[in-house]
Amino acid sequence: MRVIALGGAGAMGRTAVRDLAASPEVDELVIADYNLEEARKLAAELGGKCDAVQVDAERHADLVEAVRGFDVALGTVGPFYKYEAKMVRACIEAGTDYVSICDDYDAAEEAMALDGEAREAGITAVTGVGWTPGVTNVLARKAVDELDEVDEVAVSWGCHASDTAGKAVTLHYIHAVTGMIPSFIDGRIIRVPAGSGLERVRFPEPVGEIDVFHAGHPEPITMPHFINARTVTLKGGLVEGYLVNLCNLLVKLRLTDTVRKKDILGKAFNAVLPYLENIGRPPESCSACRVDVTGKKEGRWTHIVYGAAAHMDVLTGIPAAVGVLMVGEGKVEAKGVTAPEACYPPDVFLRMIAERGVRLYRGDAMREPLGL
């Protein structure tokens, strides 16, 4: 298959690119990035089937021409509230299948609104195949399939701030904790204050037990389309509580309520973050997720818990690479804009990411490995 990786030289994209370059199913891999120098360096390092081109996601015509003729385009250009819809539209026009790691709720809404156009074009576009959303969605689907009735899906994520150096990740976090964000509660989408609903959640080590709160993510947007649950919530948090408090203060000061303000604050944050991260820096940084699904099995209330852990680039990039391979090999039949919980067979997907280094768990203590 022929694959083009949009943003493939970035912090999250390059992990997916490395895996795809090592996959025998991929015959040609083009790393398309605004930073052509970094794309060329990565392509030269990987050699063989890899090449590099410059792509500006702001230029629609150029983006369409870049993805035209490929079997699958991987989308890792963030922040996704700026670029996800642009990449989906380009792939629709070019007739190219698409897989992204989109993690912004409003971007997921925009992508889902393009479902009809994608179906008409005969393409498959899977939005949100990363850590969260992505691994979380497939874990939720696995749990849901084990129940007769589903009541609630509670998704949580936690990480060390030092587990990534990606600039787009900072913008995403600022976006996720700003304003009123969507949650699916009692059968309908409602808006709740970002940062509300504080609770203590246990993740796999070394993240451990931390405070999480409502944050803007796509799971409450996509899951109700494909999972018949009364409630779908998403909460997240950082191990470093002082960074959470600092970010909350900046939000209250209204320094994040426009895209321009987020860009300015994101640049400032990225400049000082390496110094802030060194305060109490852990021996090993990590990112993790947890999915709690409650429902009925043979008439009895049942609570199923699954989780995952790895470094953020692995936990995000590896699922994206697996998602691309499954679409490119024709293992996803759905056309239109869809999500991981709707189109990836859970055990197959989870087995593939586990083989590539993502640690999977089951049970409330988040210590028991998930056997597949």
**Is 209 among the domain residues?**
yes
**Tokens (6 digits) for 12:** 């999250």
Judge whether residue 347 has pLDDT over 60.
yes
**Does residue 295 share a domain with residue 352?**
no
**Does residue 257 share a domain with residue 142?**
yes
pLDDT at 63: 97
Who wins on pLDDT, 176 or 282? Answer: 176
**Is 344 among the domain residues?**
yes
Q: How many domains does the chain have?
A: 2
**Does residue 159 share a domain with residue 38?**
no
Last residue of a domain, one of 254, 288, 310: 310
Banded model confidence at residue 189, pLDDT cuts 50, 70, 90: very high
Banded model confidence at residue 372, pLDDT cuts 50, 70, 90: confident
Residues 130 and 132: their CA atoms lie apart, in Å, by 6
pLDDT at 197: 94
**Is 372 among the domain residues?**
no
Residues 49 and 28: their CA atoms lie apart, in Å, by 5
Q: What pLDDT, in 10s, does the model give residues 67-119?
A: 999 999 999 998 899 999 999 999 999 999 999 999 999 999 999 999 999 99
Return the SS3 of 362: strand
pLDDT at 260: 73
**Is 59 among the domain residues?**
yes
Judge whether residue 268 has pLDDT over 70.
no
**Does residue 183 share a domain with residue 306?**
yes
**Does residue 241 share a domain with residue 299?**
yes
**Is 227 among the domain residues?**
yes
Last residue of a domain, one of 273, 295, 310: 310
Closest among 78, 71, 19 to 50, alpha carbons compared: 19
**Does residue 101 share a domain with residue 48?**
yes
**Does residue 246 share a domain with residue 166?**
yes
**Does residue 183 share a domain with residue 200?**
yes
Average pLDDT along the chain? 91
Angle between helices 259-277 and 167-176 (to 10 degrees): 120
pLDDT at 87: 98
Judge whether residue 252 has pLDDT over 70.
no
Only one residue has tokens 């209330």, namely 301
pLDDT at 241: 65
Cβ neighbors of 55 (< 8 A, separation 6 or more) are 6, 32, 33, 34, 62, 63, 66
CATH, residue 19: 3.40.50.720
CATH, residue 263: 3.30.360.10
Residues 188 and 234: their CA atoms lie apart, in Å, by 14
Mean pLDDT of 240-261: 65
Residues 265 and 269: their CA atoms lie apart, in Å, by 6
**Is 365 among the domain residues?**
no
**Does residue 144 share a domain with residue 99?**
no
**Is 362 among the domain residues?**
no
Q: pLDDT above 70 covers what percent of the chain? A: 87
Q: What pLDDT, in 10s, does the model give residues 219-231?
A: 999 999 999 999 9
**Does residue 306 share a domain with residue 317?**
no
**Does residue 298 share a domain with residue 163?**
yes
pLDDT at 167: 55
Please give the residue range of the domain that contains residue 239. Answer: 135-310
Quickly count helices (H) and strands (E) in the chain.
Answer: 14, 17
pLDDT at 246: 63
Cβ neighbors of 135 (< 8 A, separation 6 or more) are 289, 308, 315, 319, 353, 358
**Does residue 339 share a domain with residue 272?**
no
Q: What is the biggest distance separating any 2 CA atoms in the chain, rounded to whole angstroms? A: 59
Banded model confidence at residue 176, pLDDT cuts 50, 70, 90: confident
Q: What pLDDT, in 10s, does the model give residues 272-324?
A: 656 555 555 566 789 999 999 999 999 999 999 999 999 999 999 999 999 99
Q: pLDDT above 90 covers what percent of the chain? A: 80
Only one residue has tokens 């084990």, namely 146
pLDDT at 212: 95
pLDDT at 7: 97
Who wins on pLDDT, 87 or 259? Answer: 87
pLDDT at 284: 77
**Is 368 among the domain residues?**
no
Banded model confidence at residue 162, pLDDT cuts 50, 70, 90: confident
pTM: 0.92
**Tokens (6 digits) for 355:** 């083989």
Mean pLDDT of 184-210: 96
Judge whether residue 270 has pLDDT over 80.
no
Last residue of a domain, one of 310, 325, 341: 310
Q: What pLDDT, in 10s, does the model give residues 11-21?
A: 899 999 999 99
